[in-house]
Amino acid sequence: MPRYRLTIEYDGTGFLGWQAQPQANTVQGVLEAAIIKLHGAHFNVQCAGRTDTGVHALAQVAHVDLPRVWDVFELVNAINGNVRPHLVSVIAAEEVSEDFHARFSATGRDYLFRILNRRAPPTIDKNKVWHIPVQLDQDAMHEAAQYLLGMHDFTTFRAAECQSKSPIKTLDRLDVSRYGDEIEIVAEARSFLHHQVRSMAGSLRMVGEGKWKPIDVKRALDAKNRAACGPVAPPSGLYLVAVRY
């Protein structure tokens, strides 16, 4: 059967994450339901990184094996036509070799975490940002973020339910920048632990508010203890923006 790589955008607000679950609204579930309408049978859609409840994607990557050859333009239109009214769009498709795997072939994943840093709450971006009304020091946050770069034991920033075999990860980039009222945290690595980006963002917020000094993030990392982590940031500000191959 031909294998297709799909690039997918979705608003995670109304979904219980990516992974299909019985009687639950998930991104994988609605995509597979759309494909059932095309072929009358179930075909597994496997993604590069399973996002949690409320997490968004600008360019999630998935693959699916289908029983016939499709023109990729027609495949994109057919899936999108059947996935409505859910806020999911396949933005590109291409036929790939059978040894391509959305998850295991990936060499890197890039995430963006958005913070709206102003007194007034969001309206247009409701459920798309983390609203923090207290003024944050983005320079101190960026300084703190640099302590997390490289290969470390990220136990402190790992959810208790994380299924990764090891807490050792290599963080290639963690930048904090301000654009007017918005602060963006950009994180890049080959792979991440469960809740790692949200955990790091929550600890960086402590620095931004002046409750921690930048060096306290390093102390938290070195503790290798979940209790040393700052409050975990909500999923609303988190986006999977790219998967590298």
- pLDDT tens for each residue of 98-117: 999 999 999 999 999 999 99
Query: Confidence band (pLDDT; 50, 70, 90) for 220?
Result: very high
> May I ask the CATH class of domain 3-96?
alpha beta
Residue 103, SS3 per DSSP: coil
Instruction: Give Cβ neighbours of residue 138 (< 8 Å, ≥ 6 apart).
Output: 176, 177, 178, 183, 208
Q: In the predicted model, what is the mean pLDDT of the chain?
A: 97
User: Fold for domain 108-244?
Assistant: Alpha-Beta Plaits (3.30.70)
Do 3-96 and 108-244 show the same overall fold? Answer: yes
* Closest listed residue to residue 230, CA positions, set 245, 216, 244: 216
Q: How far is residue 102 CA from its own chain's centroid?
A: 14
| Contact assessment for residue 106 and residue 244, using Cβ atoms and an 8 Å cutoff | yes
Among residues 52, 125, 139, 216, which one is catalytic?
52
52 is catalytic: yes
- pLDDT tens for each residue of 37-55: 999 999 999 999 999 999 9
Enter the pTM of the model.
0.96
Domain spans of the chain, in order of start: 3-96, 108-244
